[in-house]
């Protein structure tokens, strides 16, 4: 059973796209709703995020989310091959809920049973466990083993439940940081129980640091030292493979946004000091974070520059420095993905692309549309 792929000859690739429900609260052109989703660009759509109750059950994060689930899953009527997943976790999630839930078999059973009920009730095709950094507790080694047990038991329960319908899909989104990988995941065992794994190959650097760096470089830079030598897509993906994950189960992460800094001097090279994050995006409202469409708006008329050894661009407008991805870097990254037989790509997130084509003059969804075309293309030379 092919769980949603773009296929070219004998090669098939996933394009997993996240829907961030919090984007519905943005103002004016930044507001993004389920009705703005194009269901024909991606093989999988992920609804982010749900929650875990004190009774260790999977639950909607809000009543508003519960009301959006039906329209989200009706998108499949416009693309019969589309798969929908419900994500739990995320960057601001209370990770102690994960630890408590996985800590005993009884708690895991409650979670799994509630997951099947919720997914089937609203016609989701599977679950996405956003288990990105569980090292917050002193007993993180227990979390490491228990997370494997959860994935194993989820897969077994999904198989047992699928008597008259397609089996539910079990997936995870995981860290790309080497120390976190080593401390938090039984990689080879996890890969046995999951249908695919999204690796967070972005936010390697950002304005929380004191020096400028691209947040999603393809390769190591000459200025990288210490653990920073691992802060790139090539190193992270290779480590997941070296630890026992089949490449075909791994999705490379793509960020439809840039990380931006305020320059502290006239020097603009990677590795120079920054005085802090950039000004906030006019629609996303977060310092040091610009959506792809905001980058188009802010750097219009500015010539992008390349970090040649890392195969990614950046741009400078006044004293603001932003690293991001453009068509050229996307082509290089997808070429790397294909050359190494990875299963596909995932994107955070739909609302950060120029979804109505207002700012980039490249049509609707230029970032995701280009990824879509690259993954469909048979050209594997870049």
Mean pLDDT by 10 residues, the chain (382 residues): 61 94 96 98 98 98 98 98 97 94 98 98 98 61 94 98 94 97 96 98 96 97 94 98 98 98 90 95 97 96 95 96 98 98 98 98 98 81 32
How many Å separate Cα 56 from the centre of its chain?
25
Q: What is the pLDDT of residue 150?
A: 98
Token readout for 341 is 């037989």
- Of the candidates 219, 317, 209, the one whose C-alpha atom is nearest the C-alpha of residue 268 is 317
Count CB-CB contacts under 10 A for residue 54. 8
How many Å separate Cα 349 from the centre of its chain?
7
Q: What is the pLDDT of residue 2?
A: 53
Q: What is the pLDDT of residue 51?
A: 98
Token readout for 349 is 């997130």
Q: What is the pLDDT of residue 344?
A: 98
Ordered by where they begin, the domains of the chain are 6-255+326-376 (3.20.20.80)
- Of the candidates 253, 277, 268, the one whose C-alpha atom is nearest the C-alpha of residue 343 is 253
Q: What is the pLDDT of residue 167?
A: 98
Q: For residues 84 and 123, is the Cβ–Cβ distance under 8 A?
A: yes
Q: What is the pLDDT of residue 14?
A: 98
Number of H helices, E strands in the chain: 10, 16
Q: Where are the alpha helices (DSSP H) in the chain?
A: 63-73, 95-102, 105-122, 140-161, 178-184, 187-193, 233-242, 292-298, 327-339, 366-376
Q: What is the pLDDT of residue 379?
A: 46
Count CB-CB contacts under 10 A for residue 116. 19
Tell me the C-alpha to C-alpha distance, in Å, between residue 265 and each of 210, 211, 258, 288, 308: 13, 12, 21, 17, 22
C-alpha dihedral over 83, 89, 91, 94, to 10 degrees?
Answer: 170
Residue 349: cis peptide before it, omega within 30 degrees of 0: yes
**The overall pTM is greater than 0.85:** yes
């Amino acid at each position: 059973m092919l769980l949603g792929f773009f296929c070219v000859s004998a090669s098939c690739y996933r394009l997993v796209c996240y829907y961030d429900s919090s984007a519905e609260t943005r103002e004016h052109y930044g507001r993004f709703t389920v009705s703005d989703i194009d269901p024909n660009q991606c093989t999988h759509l992920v609804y982010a995020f749900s929650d875990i109750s004190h009774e260790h059950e999977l639950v909607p994060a809000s009543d508003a989310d519960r009301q959006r689930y039906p329209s989200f899953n009706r998108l499949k009527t416009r693309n019969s091959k589309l798969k929908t997943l419900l994500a739990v976790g995320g960057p601001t999630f209370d990770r102690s809920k994960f630890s408590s839930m996985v800590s005993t078999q009884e708690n895991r059973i409650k979670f799994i049973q509630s997951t099947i009920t919720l997914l089937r009730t609203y016609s989701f095709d599977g679950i996405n466990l956003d288990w990105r950094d569980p090292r917050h507790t002193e007993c993180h080694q227990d979390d490491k083993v228990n997370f494997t047990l959860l994935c194993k038991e989820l897969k077994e329960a999904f198989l047992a439940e699928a008597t008259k319908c397609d089996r539910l899909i079990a997936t995870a989104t995981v860290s790309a940081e080497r120390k976190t990988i080593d401390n938090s995941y039984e990689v080879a065992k996890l890969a046995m129980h999951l249908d695919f794994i999204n690796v967070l190959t972005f936010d390697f650097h950002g304005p929380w640091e004191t020096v400028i760096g691209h947040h999603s470089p393809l390769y190591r830079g000459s200025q990288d030292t210490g653990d920073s030598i691992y802060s790139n897509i090539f190193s992270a993906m290779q480590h997941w493979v070296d630890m026992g994950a089949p490449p075909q189960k791994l999705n490379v992460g793509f960020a439809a946004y840039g990380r931006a800094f305020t320059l502290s001097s006239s020097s603009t090279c990677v590795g120079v000091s920054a005085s802090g994050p950039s000004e906030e995006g006019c629609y996303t409202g977060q310092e040091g974070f610009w959506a792809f469409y905001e980058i188009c708006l802010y750097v219009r008329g500015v010539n992008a520059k390349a970090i040649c050894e890392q195969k990614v661009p950046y741009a400078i407008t006044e004293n603001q420095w932003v690293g991001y991805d453009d068509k050229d870097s996307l082509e290089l990254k997808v070429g790397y993905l294909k050359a190494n037989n990875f299963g596909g790509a995932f994107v955070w997130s739909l609302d950060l692309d120029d979804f109505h084509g207002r700012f980039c003059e490249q049509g609707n969804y230029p970032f995701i549309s280009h990824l879509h075309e690259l993954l469909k293309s048979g050209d594997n030379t870049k």
